[in-house]
Structure 1
Amino acid sequence: MADASKIEKFQQAVEADPHDELANFSLGAALMEADRADEAGPCFQRVLAVNPQHSKAHEMLARAQIKTGHTDLAIDTLRNGYQLAHRKGDVAPAKAMAALLEELGEALPETTEKKAPESVGVQGDGSFVCRRCGGNGPRLEKTPFKGDLGQLIADSVCQMCWTQWVGQGTKVINELRLPMYDPKAQEMYDRHMKEFL
């Protein structure tokens, strides 16, 4: 269960900047953990107002809606979120939303666009498609860091989305107070980065 000081810290961050996507999401997650779904729902709605492409926020909003007895709203949220997650290739949220729809006795919505590996990165005609925003560039000039993940990002994320992540990543480190020398903190940072990108 989330402790009151954690919730208070995130509430202060939201009060300081009501449009802070990470602060709203973190507050909503902490409230859900504290079994306060009625307060968590609006947090996830604010995340989606700032970033309608946030697949995990769709999932968490639907969970809050289910817990508060708003099943019809949850079904709509899950259908929209599932289609979005499928389009973006966000596998974990898509699976979670599919399971929730199944639990509610609902069929999976048909997806209009399929996520295919060749749909992002450099195309056959030399153009570039960003996996996050669907835009066509400009792409990163070099890998942002070593390793497979760095190469994946360089191959499939545009410069604008990477720049947005750098700002968001700084917020993740500061708001979650991540000591980056700790491997667990690095894992949490990487998880947020993969979710964002």
Structure 2
Amino acid sequence: MANRRIEPLKKVLAIDPNDEVAWFGLGKAYMEDANFEEAAKALQQCVTVKPTYSAAYYAWAQSLHKLNRLDECRTVCATGIDVSTKNGDAMVTKNFEMLRSSLPA
């Protein structure tokens, strides 16, 4: 059964495609449904709209990891670490470092 948050978030985005919170929520809702392909698309759009949204980079990297798109995951981790460090988001930075260290060489 699809996450009940998906359709309302899509309606918000139809009205305001620059709503980074809605993009993030949509990505997380797709992740909850294990629809990592759609999650990755939504989260990529989220950071396109707001390039400083470090939590969105982390969720995007997690989705790419689940899809076994490891090179893309590494790239998003690197960018996310830069963004989260500049933002002072120490916990997000630590999460990125743990995810990156779990990736095969």
Structure 1 length-normalised TM: 0.50
Gaps of 5+ in 2: none
Output the CA distance in 1 between the equivalents of 2:66 and 2:12: 25
* CA drift at 1:105: 4.4
Alignment-derived partner of residue 24 in structure 1: 23
What residue ranges of structure 1 are gaps of 5+ in the alignment?
A: 107-197
Residues 101-128 of structure 1: CA distance to partner in whole angstroms, max 9, x if unpaired? Answer: 110146xxxxxxxxxxxxxxxxxxxxxx
More helix by share: 2
Structure 1 residue aligned with 2:12: 13
| Structure with higher RCO (Cα < 8 A, 6+ apart) | 2
Deviations 1:123-165 (A, max 9, x none): xxxxxxxxxxxxxxxxxxxxxxxxxxxxxxxxxxxxxxxxxxx
Query: Offset at 1:4?
Result: 3.0
Which amino acid counterpart does residue 20 of structure 2 have in structure 1?
A: E
The aligned counterpart of 1:72 is: 71
Report the Cα distance in structure 2 between the residues aligned to 1:93 and 1:105, rounded to whole angstroms: 21
Percent of matched pairs sharing the same residue: 28
**Structural mapping, 1:57-96, within 5 Å:** 57-96=56-95
Partner Cα separation in structure 2 for residue 19 and residue 63 of structure 1: 22
CA distance in structure 2 between the partners assigned to 1:29 and 1:4 by the alignment: 10
Secondary structure, counterpart of 1:97 in structure 2? helix
Q: Which residue of 2 aligns with 1:43?
A: 42
Number of aligned residues: 105
2:104 & 2:2 partners in 1: Cα distance? 34
Match of 1:147 in 2: none
Q: How far did 1:84 drift?
A: 1.7
After TM superposition, the structure 1 stretch with the greater mean CA deviation from structure 2, 18-27 or 97-106, is 97-106
SS in 1 for 2:68: coil
CA apart distance, 1:76: 0.6
Q: How far apart in 2 are the matches of 1:47 and 1:41?
A: 10
2:100 aligned partner: 101
CA distance in 1, matches of 2:71, 2:88: 25
**1:105/1:89 Cα in 2 relative to 1: closer, same or farther (>3 Å)?**
farther
Question: TM-score, normalized by length of structure 2?
Answer: 0.91
Q: Secondary structure at the residue paired with 1:47?
A: helix
